[in-house]
Amino acid sequence: MEVANGICEFKGVSNCYIVLNNEIFLVDTGIPGRSNEIINYMEKNLKRDPKDIKTIMITHHHFDHTGSLDKLKRITGAKVAIHSDDAEYISGEKVQTGSLLMRHW
């Protein structure tokens, strides 16, 4: 759903966004299994190829923000932008401690 000119929001456990600017980028990827919804929206609503997403920006490493990252990166070929402190969780070098709900799947 377009929430502002050039910004499409996907609501859920945590929100993710497609931003249409000079370059299309995705902010977060949502929980695991969210990739099909994002790809279908790109193709059907925006009439764009998923490979038009050039960057996936991750706000932080929790699973509800990164759950569909692997699949979307494979489909789009996009580069991933993430803070260096969070990158180690995505790569598996560090493991999230604390509540199970906040752990990376």
Confidence of residue 93 (pLDDT cuts 50, 70, 90): confident
Q: Give the CATH number of the domain where residue 51 resides.
A: 3.60.15.10
> Number of structural domains, the chain?
1
pLDDT reported for residue 97: 65
Q: What are the start-end ranges of the E strands in the chain?
A: 2-4, 7-10, 16-20, 24-27, 53-57, 79-81
Tell me the pLDDT tens digit for each residue of 39-54.
999 999 999 999 999 9
Task: With beta carbons less than 8 A apart as the criterion, state whether 53 and 25 touch.
Answer: yes
Domain that holds residue 20: 2-102
Pick the more confident residue, 41 or 103.
Answer: 41
Percent of the chain's residues with pLDDT above 70: 90
Q: Whole-model pTM?
A: 0.83
pLDDT reported for residue 71: 95
15 φ, ψ (degrees, to nearest 5): -85, 155
Whose CA is closest to 38, among 58, 59, 55, 53?
Answer: 53
